[in-house]
Structure 1
């Protein structure tokens, strides 16, 4: 989809408007090329780009050339980098349900945006396909201490962690899982760490 816009000199130019289905398809095409080994040293191979362009045009029409797709790739890379920068800061994390960055409280946002005004947009902006972007740009996804699975419900940007779920550092911990059934198959169950003696 193209939109007519005016540039600085008053000349009209066409700007591509990306819809969520277009974004999703584009990211899936890129992820497939990553899995096929066509993304090396932070760049897609010529073969990968040719395949991506062909597949994208087949689905969305002939107006989407290599330049348009590469421009959008660069925009997605910039967005991914900004989000990674934020969620790597203390007090920030990624909310998979809402597909956006969250902060422990409003003061965390206020302080960070005051020091880094360009990041203010991410306070309310969501981004579809962040997990795919993590695969494409190589950081493995929102799986760190500040990520939230879709099943984790959070109200008012507050973390709801059971009191017994913290370790000595106040971080969430996971109990090791062990066990096997009578047939030798592994059946995983949590170990009660309170009963383990350390020598």
Structure 2
């Protein structure tokens, strides 16, 4: 089998009554969930419905299949709605799935609209659900008739019950296998201009739906981007706050290190001072002579004392290690001891 044949089989999906019922129920469910804003099903709604039908029938079903089928269903409903809506004497029966009326009422309608003959004995499946899905579009002008057509229709009404009042919207599984695609033909052809007009309308509606879906998807993406941007900004703010806290801690550590360094400098200074004080002082010859003059040594003994102290370093340390007022007494004793030895 060639690739083109495979693609053709995928595109030409054959719908069964069971698939129609499942799809229509899915359309109603997505509508109730709010996934049909402004009458247009969102991309999210189509994704859900594709998953539902795939799970139930295991067939290769795409979003385009669903769009095409919805278009077919809405067009078929539009034909029925425009034909029977507001006509007295007609009602759709949820039991027989037929539009029912007296024979005379049918006769009068067929005389005015020969195309209605095909629906006299043809069951219409799921009309109650299709009415719930698409009637609002017909009534609000999306597919509504002109005022002139309405007046003509009202003037031709026969006494009886309206179609909407007899639709109790309670679905029952149809015994008939008839489908909305399989509408009977009464041999009456539709005008070429009418068919083209319907095609143009359908194409325009489909184009508007696709644009609305793209806008919805774009808005969703924009919201996601804004949400992600807010998350990133919040994380950046948290990171900046943590960095500020870390910088503050670094500043405190640096301050503590500076205080420790200052204390270490003070300790080192005190150590040097103690070391200098513990070291014996070295007195030069000039300092020795000045000290001799200060302690009051007689003139004739200055030279003898000077040489005595300069010749022995330990004599200088002993003499100058005592307070100034005791240095004369200490020097004389040192000299006396040196003579005695």
| TM-score, with length taken from structure 2 | 0.36
Q: Which of 1 and 2 has greater Rg?
A: 2
Aligned counterpart in structure 1 of residue 81 of structure 2, from 71, 80, 84:
84
Instruction: Name the CA shift for 1:55/1:82 in 2 (closer, same or farther; >3 Å).
Output: same
Question: 1:101 maps to which residue?
Answer: 99
Report the secondary structure of 2:91's partner residue.
Answer: strand
More helix by share: 2
Aligned counterpart in structure 1 of residue 42 of structure 2, from 26, 41, 45:
45
What displacement does 1:36 show? Answer: 0.4
Query: Which structure 2 residues correspond to residues 60-71 of structure 1 after superposition, within 5 A?
Result: 60-71=57-68
Report the secondary structure of 2:100's partner residue.
Answer: strand
Instruction: Name the CA shift for 1:98/1:57 in 2 (closer, same or farther; >3 Å).
Output: same
**Unaligned stretches of 5+ residues in structure 2:** 1-8, 137-161, 171-341
More strand by share: 1
The answer to whether the aligner puts 1:145 opposite 2:165 as a matched pair is yes
CA distance in 2, matches of 1:30, 1:147: 19
CA distance in 2, matches of 1:119, 1:17: 27
* Deviation sequence 1:31-85 (CA, Å, 0-9, x none): 1101001123332111111111122122222422222211111121122223333
- Root-mean-square deviation (Å): 3.0
The answer to whether the aligner puts 1:21 opposite 2:18 as a matched pair is yes
CA distance in 2, matches of 1:148, 1:37: 23
Query: Which structure 2 residues correspond to residues 4-15 of structure 1 after superposition, within 5 A?
Result: 15=12
Say how many residue pairs are matched.
Answer: 137
